[in-house]
Homo-oligomer: A and B are copies of this chain.
């Protein structure tokens, strides 16, 4: 399980131990072949790119062809798994490969690398002893408001931290809805462009987010945390 950079050019966010494992492999199952090839190349992999075997997971059906590929290859050589950005198996289809390996008694080695979920939590100042990652919240306005209010109540009652993401072009609308339905004193942390040169991690009460121009997070990759 080989993490790759969140911001493509920042190869220095990948530890030496992970690069060493990457360079020992010539077979990969990847979320997106194009970005995986660029990462492998940028890492100074010792094997010429055209000799590296890349199996791209089908976007619509990650199982398609996977079982066959794994049955054929997983016992005769080690296979690396690479996500489009960050850690494979977290919020991407890479976990399918791992569950196959675990079922077939093929050893799995998770390697160290960047995760925007964890970076956002570290930067929020919120409780890191208990937290939930929700992925995407519902898009339906009514369901979204219900979920956000449930999260706010759980923060108040149990002190857990709640983390969620959104497609960048919907960030502004998510912030507007969040500000409109939560209490003025509830803390919201927004992390933008994590590991990038324009990275920002800001934790403020809703009453201060309301005054901000939401344009700053338009189309920028963001992670949202609610906690205390």
From B89, B109, B128, B204, A91 is in contact (CB under 8 Å) with B128
In the bound complex, CA of A109 to CA of B200 (Å): 8
Q: Is B123 touching A109 in the complex (CB atoms < 8 A)?
A: yes
Q: Is A1 touching B130 in the complex (CB atoms < 8 A)?
A: no
Residue A55, interface by CB 8 Å = no
Known contacts: A15-B15, A118-B87, A132-B131. The answer to whether A125 contacts B98 by CB under 8 A is: yes
Q: Is A112 touching B1 in the complex (CB atoms < 8 A)?
A: no
Residues of A114-134 whose CB lies within 8 A of B:
114-115, 117-134
Total interface residues in chain A, CB < 8 Å: 63
Q: Is A95 touching B133 in the complex (CB atoms < 8 A)?
A: no
From B15, B110, B125, A14 is in contact (CB under 8 Å) with B15
Residue A180, interface by CB 8 Å = no
Residue A101, interface by CB 8 Å = yes
In the bound complex, CA of A215 to CA of B23 (Å): 35
Q: Is B123 touching A110 in the complex (CB atoms < 8 A)?
A: yes
Given A96-B125, A102-B204: 7 more A-B contacts, CB < 8 Å = A16-B16, A89-B122, A89-B128, A112-B113, A115-B115, A132-B132, A132-B160
